[in-house]
Amino acid sequence: MIRLVATTLAIASMSISAQQTQPLQPAASAPQGSSPRGERLFTGTTRLRNGGPACISCHTIAGTPFPGGGALGPDLTHAYRKLGPHGTQSAMQTLYFNVMTPIYSAHSLAPDEQADLMAFLQQAESRQEPRWQTEIVLLIALLLGGGFVALTGFLWRDRVKSVRRALVERATGQGARV
């Protein structure tokens, strides 16, 4: 009996040591992404392979040049930190967002596009937030509006006077036609 237990223990220890010495097989992982390619996909400079709209149509991210992206979806600057790598990848694959499902169900992201976008989102937090963007747009709008009012006033400066003069002449009977 002792011999049977010893033999069983020896076989078990050899099995355990054999498992420890075997090299681990790498799991099938997602392809490594490129942040610059991910940025081009996000901004729409490079079209998505299956014809879906660029992310910037609905989302914004730090460092995006003017006009800065869409306002329908949330700002994705901190999305990778918030969701983590598995959550971010899951969000790109499952599209559990009600607004995105009808748009991307027929235009899914390719695995390499997902990897590129994940690499871009991962480094997005280190990007500089654009400064004065809203203020610059407001200033431009005010200047253009003021310029339009000034131009209109200059071009039609005598129009109001001539219309008023005709109305006054008709009302007082001095210029009324018989």
In the chain, how many H helices and how many E strands? 7, 0
Mean pLDDT score of the chain, rounded to an integer?
76
Judged by phi (left if over 0) then psi (alpha if -120 to 50, else beta), residue 95 lies in left
* CATH class of the domain comprising 35-126: mainly alpha
Helices marked H in 22-100: 35-43, 79-94
Provide the residue ranges of all domains of the chain, joining segments of one domain with +: 35-126, 133-172
Q: Are 59 and 80 in contact (CB under 8 A)?
A: no
Rounded to two decimals, the pTM is: 0.57
Model confidence pLDDT, tens digit, residues 38-82: 999 998 899 999 888 888 888 988 877 767 788 888 888 888 999
Higher pLDDT, 9 or 138: 138
Q: Tokens in use for 165?
A: 């003069």
Lowest mean pLDDT among 13-17, 119-123, 147-151, 161-165: 13-17
Asked whether the predicted pLDDT for residue 166 surpasses 70, the reply is yes
Nearest to residue 120, comparing CAs of 59, 39, 56? 39
Determine what percent of the chain falls in helix, strand and coil, rounding each to the nearest 5. 60, 0, 40
Model confidence pLDDT, tens digit, residues 83-113: 998 998 888 887 777 888 888 888 888 899 9
